[in-house]
Amino acid sequence: MDRKAEKGEPKFKLSEKEQKVIEILRSLDFGEMRIVVNDGVVTRIEEVKKSYKI
């Protein structure tokens, strides 16, 4: 096992965008979000406002 993992240290640092995604997800009380990723980078987060089940 990796020594960093044993100590509880992260194996890598999150980018500013990745940190923002986590903040937005944690602030969501309930609902649904779509995360758009291009070339491995989050480019947009969409909050789903309405959904119709037919």
Per-residue model confidence as pLDDT tens digits over 6-48? 677 778 888 898 899 999 999 988 888 999 999 988 999 998 8
Q: How far apart are the first and last CA of the chain?
A: 50
The answer to whether 35 touches 43, Cβ cutoff 8 Å, is no
Q: What confidence score (pLDDT) does residue 48 get?
A: 85
- State the Cα–Cα distance between residues 35 and 21, nearest whole angstrom: 9
Beta strands in the chain (DSSP E): 33-38, 41-47
DSSP lists the bridge partners of residue 47 as 33
Q: What confidence score (pLDDT) does residue 5 get?
A: 59
pTM of the model: 0.62
